[in-house]
Structure formats: C-alpha cells, structure tokens
Amino acid sequence: MSEGQSGLDAIVQTFQRAKTERRATFMPFFTVGYPDLPTSLHVLQALAEAGADALEIGMPFSDPLADGPTIQHASQVALERGTRLSDCIDAVRTLRARGLDVPLVMMGYLNPLLAYGLERFVTEAAEAGASGFIVPDLPPEEAEEFRALCDAHGLGFTPLIAPNSTPTRITEVAKTARGFLYLVSVTGVTGARDTLPSDLTEYIARVRALTDLPLAVGFGISKPSQARQVAAHADGVIVASALIRLMESEGIEAVRSLAASLRAACVIE
C-alpha cells in the first residue's frame, strides 16, 4: 500500500491490476495466533512472499459460526494462547513495519468488535495499516454504523453472499459493499472439499449480472485445480482451511509451496 493511498483504493487497484494481468486475485486467509502469535506472522509473510495479492487476517473468536472444524480449531488454539483483538491489530502494524504492502483485510466476528468498541477498533486498525474488513455475522441491514466508520477512514467493507440469495438480496447487499463481494461457494461452513459445487459457474454469473463489483469466491477451495476452475469465472480466489491444515501437519514451507501453486493457478488460460 503506497503512502497516502487509502485501504479501499489499494483493494480496488489490486483487483484491477490482476484483471489487467489476466488472472484472479489470490487472497489467502490465516488465523492470527495459530499455532502461536510469532509463527502466524511468519506464515502471513510467507503467503505474501509466495505471491498473495491480498491477505485475510483472521481474528480468532470462540464461536465462529461460518467456519468449519479447521478454522474453529485454529481459533481455539489462538485464544487459548492468549490472542486478543488488540494482538490482531498489532499483527497488521507489525506486517506493515516488515514491509508488506499488499491489502490486509481483517476478517472476524461482531461480538469482539462490539466489546472493543466499533469506533476504537476501526480507528486503531486503520492507523495500523488495515485495508478493510469482513464481518460474516454482520447483516447489511445492521451495518450502517460500521460501514460509515469504514467510509470515514477510507477502508473496504466486504459482505458475504450465499448461493441461495435472491436477486433482490444480492442487489441490496452489493450496495453496501466497498471494494469487492465475497461469494460463499456452498451453503454451509468453511472447509477444504474434494470438489466444488456443480452450479458454481452459474452462481457467479447470476451475481455478475447484478453488480459491477469484483467477485471473490471462498469456502472449499483447497487445491490448484479448484483455484483454476474458480479463476476462470470469478475475480478473486480465497483459500483458508487447506493452508491452516497444512501448517498443522507439515509447517511453513509446505504452506508457502501450496500458496505459490495456488497463485500460479489463478492465471486465466
């Protein structure tokens, strides 16, 4: 993120640049504090070094409703080791100090943000170098205050759209978004899957017809062949559980290798 550039501008330009280069934006997720705080920062750095266009900074929460077993476990471990919301803000600050200039989108749930104070959280996150936020359990109808704070600081705000959303709902949600839309690939929770839904292409096209915003797809993408399939139709590819699971079993270098292959698969052939 260049000096004087807003977080939202950085997100918009990242998607534009990837489109110009005929590829989808690669946006991996990793939980701050898993398996411990210093290691999670090294993993996020490794993801950026492997070619991530943007990073989702996972803020651990005790009851992550949209997340499957892998991210739930990572959140629980992070919380047990004392990771708090302030540590997530500090993580963004540290990553910026280490030279990371890709958009850093903080993803987490509403209750910790309310307990911390919405204005305090957005202000401190902006000062630390955050680019935007994804709050899965914040309905657009109730997001006016949070969205206004994002607008005041020039930050992105990304709502989620489910496969069963109606055209009216999609249009309403898109109006609240700042930067891009997050398309949940399945009706369910996060987690690596062997196959993607057969109607995913139609789903992306259905949303595409109702908004000009970039569309990033997440939930279930775990291997390059799936990333390639999504990149052919969407503007962004989000991967989370597969990276966390690999970190647990094989370590940072394996995560770096998978991330690099996923990034390579985002090129449109």
Selecting among 3, 9, 56, 137, the annotated active-site residue is 56
Mean pLDDT, range 136-161, rounded to an integer: 95
Paired residues of 84 in beta bridges:
none
Cα 139–Cα 140–Cα 142 angle in degrees, nearest 5: 70
Average pLDDT over the chain reads 93
- Report field, pTM of the whole predicted structure over 0.75: yes
Give the separation between CA 29 and CA 48, rounded to whole angstroms. Answer: 11
122 within 8 A of 146, measured Cβ to Cβ? yes
Per-residue pLDDT, 188: 47
| Vertex 96 angle, CA 4 and 221, to 5° | 105
**Catalytic site residue 63?**
no
Between CA 257 and CA 80 the distance in angstroms is 28
CATH number of 7-265: 3.20.20.70
Q: Stretch 123-146: mean pLDDT, rounded?
A: 95
Give the separation between CA 185 and CA 67, rounded to whole angstroms.
13
Mean pLDDT of 239-262: 96
Mind listing the pLDDT tens digit for each residue in 162-206?
999 999 999 999 999 999 999 998 754 444 445 677 789 999 999
* C-alpha closest to that of 189 among 39, 70, 82: 70
pLDDT band, very low/low/confident/very high, at 140 (cuts 50, 70, 90): confident
pLDDT at 27 over 80: yes
57 vs 69 pLDDT, higher one: 57
Average pLDDT over residues 15-27: 97
Catalytic residue among 67, 87, 124, 235: 67
Amino acid at 183: L
145 is catalytic: no
133: enclosing H helix or E strand: strand 132-134
Would you kindly state where each structural domain of the chain is located, as residue ranges? 7-265
Per-residue pLDDT at 187: 56
Task: Output 84 or 3, whichever has higher pLDDT.
Answer: 84
Q: Which pLDDT belongs to residue 3?
A: 64
